Structure 1
Amino acid sequence: MLNKYPLWKYLMLIVVVVIGFLYAAPNLYGEDPAIQVSGVRSAVVDNSTLDKVRAALKEDGITAKSIAVENGLLLARFSDTETQLKAQEVVTKAMGDDYSVALNLAPATPAWLRDVHASPMKLGLDLRGGVHFLMQVDMPEAITKAENDLQTDLRTNLREEKLRYTGIRRIGEGKIKVTLRDDETAEQAETFLKKSAGTDYQVDRDGKDVVLTLTPTRIKEIREYALSQNITIIRNRVNELGVAEPLVQRQGTDRILVELPGVQDTARAKEILGATATLEFHLVDTQHDLGDALNGHVPPGSVLYKSRDGRPVLAEKRIMLTGDHIQDAQSGFDEYQRPQVNIKLDSQGGDMMSRATKDNIGKPMATVFIEYKPTGEKGPDGKPTLKKVEEVIQVATIQARLGRSFRITGINTPQEAHNLSLLLRAGALLAPIQIVEERTVGPSLGAQNIQDGMNSLIYGSIAILIFMAIYYRAFGLVANLALVMNVVLIVGIMSLIPGATLTLPGIAGIVLTVGMSVDANVLIFERIREELNAGVGVQKAIHNGYSNALSTIADANITTMITALILFGIGSGPVKGFAVTLAIGILTSMFTAIVGTRAVINLIYGGRRVEKLSI
């Protein structure tokens, strides 16, 4: 029978509508000003932390809407930003340096919606407000570090090959000169180094001197690795700020773009993102007296560190391995269900660790965490200066000869193991980074952008609704219902997609799809009118109208979808935001215009004897 849908199609439509409304609903509840408390390194957020925060707030007479610990973080919600700022100051003072207290905006989604994993759309920097940083990687420092590593490897390899040298030094950017004892040894060293050079460096000899020059390919690899590694580190550090949907991406050959929507504490963001960190593994010096070192008599080949709890650690100055060679670090448990961290090195790092530990089984090894933190002052060249902070994060006994994979045990809690694995993954920073550009978008400006965007959507929708209702009468009302459903589906899908972020251009994409969604119905309705004017029966006219317009609608939307995909592929942030909402809007508008309106029309007119249509 013409214009009759089977039951399963109506059920499918109902399911889609319910899901759309369900996942779009959290956007109606807004956000609460909040503070987020997270443990720094080995500190753990638990019920005792919760009691301490409650006591601090109660003592200062600050009332919180709610305080809860979830997934190792404490989140306290407040009724306004003034209370939020006061609470942050109080809690920061009460918790000390072991905890990070960050400002945040927490969705006020009801618990029943959170139970089905429904959450509001993520808003971009231009809508929510926040901070924008452009960070530059110190590439010359990355190349210098690679040169230092090469010198260390040369000393070790030449010593193992029993090729005696009198000096190894840097003679220029990317150039290392090795001076051998005589011409014959230099020739042997040249042969050996050429075999192991690969594409990393070029080997040239001049008498007793052998010069190694880093190849352009190797220099490019160093630059690429330094940039990609810094991006990974910054993403890990952003997690400490509690940002829902940060943007961290490469820009050019040596810069990183960071956008943190919703972040109000810009000083805290700069402190975390601007710090530079690395790792080093040293053998603990057990041959000399620690007491003498504490009295100022540190042996020439050793260095005195402090652990996080303040205990002194005397370690050998020679570096066994740096964090540059760590490929992965994961927290877990050993066979006795005690926390541990599993380390995986690259092939070069595995060889270095194997050589360093084969004769040191049973000896303690210290993992030294080194940070370069901004001092707030500028040097003679006008660039911000950094201070070096070193501390031992772990002392472990070498139980066997280590290779590419080994584990660190003796960790107190699973949370400490998790934090340590994060430090190990994020600690291998090859070069310092500096913030070269900073912009702040205030929450009031973001709110104004949202208001302007919503006004354009509302006014445009009202104009379309009135036109469709007047021009197409009953069929126009059905198209209006589909239009409203289209907007709901777009919002629901944007809320469902984990990586989707709504920006001001994204709102423009939604406004555009509002017009496009009724465009399909206009084509269908005009086809139906043509059929009726040609004397075709009502049921046949409806059927032919939808069937004949389908190919035209599909062609128009497919070409627009191709454009949206191209914009997403080659565009920048704002253009991508427009492309995402445009692509989603195309899919939802086709569904509501073709399937949705057809279902309603069939429900009203299908299978009935109708003499005239209100169209």
Structure 2
Amino acid sequence: MLQIDTWKRVLIWALVVAGLTFALPNVFYNRVEQHNDAVAAIKKSGSTPDREAQAALWPSYLPATLVNLGLDLRGGAHLLAEVRVQEVYASRLEALWPDIRDVLRPERETVGTIRLQPFDGETLRVRIGNPDGMDRAMQLVRGLAQPVVSLTAAGTTDLVVSGQGEILSVTLSDAEKQALDDRTVQQSLEIIRRRIDEVGTREPTIQQQGADRILIQVPGLGSAQELKDIIGTTAQLTFQPVVSRTTNANAEHGAGEEVLPSLDESGTFYVLESVPVVTGEDLIDAQPSFDQNGRPAVTFRFNPAGARRFGDYTAENIGSPFAIVLDNEVISAPVIQSHIAGGSGIITGNFTIEESTNLAVLLRAGALPAGLDFLEERTIGPELGQDSIDAGKIATMVAFVGVLVFMVASYGLFGIFANIALILNIALLIGVLSAIGGTLTLPGIAGIVLTVGMAVDANVLVFERIREELKSARGPARAIELGYERALSAIIDANITTFITAVILFVMGSGPVRGFAITLGLGIITSVFTAIYLTRLLIVIWFERRRPKTIEV
């Protein structure tokens, strides 16, 4: 008997209504986008009359998720950056000096005095007072070497230690440099992704290219400079002991010390110990706030290890100045008044509310392990994107109209049912893309066009099977029921093979290929749903009302 249970009918219509509801905001794209931007701005920095007016452009009880338009459709910013991995080598070697000093100090009777020599960025050199103790010094320093963490460098260590005369030299091994390169680029990728996502841009493309380059594409940004402002700051936060304060940028300083300018006081410089007590890597949280005078500031909190080091240092150095350094500029250098326990504090300076908010974002995302050189930057205007959208619309409409006409001409009333399902299929596909926050690119539009062509394939199989059953002198209800039952296996087999292809394209591909795979895969799912369930429901409803004695397909 040709029938569908009530709960199934309710479920089918509920899914259709849900899909149409999520697809609806895309009909009013600009209005919903202004609403979303206003809501985000209100949450971030407070309400204003203009923001409230923009937020009211779309009802709050309706979904406000949109299909994100890719760079080729919307325009935006394109950057190709090269990671300065040499900076990581230098930082790694500089951080070794306290450990080398501590391991050699107990052996002063053997090695003599220990003095750090000027650092050239590639080799850490230590002068010892007794050349006869060089072998012992090299043995002790080699004990600091660690195995290289890499699948391709098993059994190697990270340090190369040599000695000549009074100079002990320490460099990084080639295996450690390769491992550092890989880790630095991967860390930079993740930090850039977190910064861009937290600032609120939509669906960025962030990919590694080659050994030390990163491709960054962000749709919707007005210029490449705006993107550089978001990711171009390393946001390296350190807390360093102050040696002295001066007005001379070239003030003399000893090995292991550096001269950095003050951010707030023009013409003021600080001589600091190069090795920080705590770094931004020990931060677990940073939030915009206000100081006791109501000025914008940033509060921070350390992890247990950082909190312990921070607390121990402040307890031992009460009355001494302590510099807070951001990107090689001293933000402030307060005097330690008391033991600071708990691992939390506040960064003050001449910040605006926006600057303190952005600084908190950068600190939460973490410091870039190395600087970036921007080799290529482009701003893709929205005019090119609009041309692509118009071309995509024309292609989709031509395919759409062609399929609609063919189905009506071939299958009459049943073709009309298939066309209704096809229209709802496209709406459901847009609704699913909106619900998951998917990105639509030009290849994605090609996937939709292909979906339009494939969407009626299942209906064609069903209708042709119904025709065969009608030739066997079966009644209309039995013919329709058998048509769906016997075409089901062919429909499933055909769509599963195409879906597997879409999955492979998504897993193995990147960028535009993934955009095509997503729309193709989702289009297959919605097509099968509309063909097997929705079209059948429409036919059953018609059949129950008309009760025809014969049917023509």
Q: TM-score, normalised by structure 1?
A: 0.74
Match of 1:71 among 31, 40, 43: 43
Q: Does 1:438 align with 2:377?
A: yes
What SS is found at the alignment partner of 2:456? helix
Match of 1:579 among 505, 517, 520: 517
Question: In 1, Cα distance between the equivalents of 2:33 and 2:468?
Answer: 59
Q: Does 1:567 align with 2:514?
A: no
What SS is found at the alignment partner of 2:218? strand
Q: 2:81, 2:375 within 8 Å by CA — same for their partners in 1?
A: yes
Letter of the 2:89 partner, please give it: I
Match runs of 1:150-161 below 5 Å: 150-159=96-105
Match of 2:535 in 1: 597
Match of 1:141 in 2: 87
Q: 2:78, 2:378 within 8 Å by CA — same for their partners in 1?
A: yes
Question: In 1, Cα distance between the equivalents of 2:141 and 2:78?
Answer: 47
Pair 1:225–1:164, CA change in 2 (3 A): farther
Question: In 2, Cα distance between the equivalents of 1:433 and 1:211?
Answer: 29
Match of 1:278 among 225, 236, 243: 236
Q: 1:396, 1:410 within 8 Å by CA — same for their partners in 2?
A: no
Question: In 2, Cα distance between the equivalents of 1:568 and 1:239?
Answer: 22
Match of 1:226 in 2: 184
Q: Over aligned residue pairs, what C-alpha RMSD do you find?
A: 4.1
Match runs of 1:292-441 below 5 Å: 293=246, 300=253, 303=259, 305-308=261-264, 316-321=272-277, 323=279, 325-326=281-282, 328-331=284-287, 340-344=299-303, 359-360=316-317, 363-370=320-327, 390-392=329-331, 395=334, 397=336, 400=339, 406-409=343-346, 419-426=358-365, 428-441=367-380
Pair 1:537–1:141, CA change in 2 (3 A): same
Pair 1:357–1:391, CA change in 2 (3 A): closer
Letter of the 1:326 partner, please give it: D
Structure 2 residues without counterparts, runs of 5 or longer: 148-157
Match of 1:471 in 2: 410
Q: 1:231, 1:250 within 8 Å by CA — same for their partners in 2?
A: yes
Question: In 2, Cα distance between the equivalents of 1:467 and 1:35?
Answer: 40
Pair 1:127–1:477, CA change in 2 (3 A): same
Q: 1:26, 1:118 within 8 Å by CA — same for their partners in 2?
A: yes
Match of 1:588 in 2: 526
Pair 1:164–1:10, CA change in 2 (3 A): farther
What SS is found at the alignment partner of 2:226? helix
Higher strand share: 1
Q: Does 1:253 align with 2:225?
A: no
Pair 1:19–1:411, CA change in 2 (3 A): farther
Question: In 2, Cα distance between the equivalents of 1:313 and 1:207?
Answer: 37
Q: Does 1:111 align with 2:88?
A: no
Question: In 1, Cα distance between the equivalents of 2:69 and 2:419?
Answer: 27
Question: In 1, Cα distance between the equivalents of 2:450 and 2:146?
Answer: 56
Worse-superposed segment, 233-242 or 4-13:
233-242
Q: 2:209, 2:215 within 8 Å by CA — same for their partners in 1?
A: yes
What SS is found at the alignment partner of 1:316? strand
Q: Does 1:460 align with 2:418?
A: no
Equivalenced residues, count: 528
Match of 2:130 among 182, 186, 191: 182
Question: In 2, Cα distance between the equivalents of 1:491 and 1:227?
Answer: 35
Deviation at 1:310, TM superposition (A): 7.2
Deviation at 1:156, TM superposition (A): 4.5
Q: 1:331, 1:342 within 8 Å by CA — same for their partners in 2?
A: no
Letter of the 2:343 partner, please give it: F
1:429-476 Cα shifts (integer Å, max 9, x gaps): 332211111233221110010011011111101110011011111111
What SS is found at the alignment partner of 2:144? helix
Deviation at 1:398, TM superposition (A): 7.8
What SS is found at the alignment partner of 2:514? helix
Match of 1:193 among 138, 141, 148: 141
Q: 2:247, 2:269 within 8 Å by CA — same for their partners in 1?
A: no
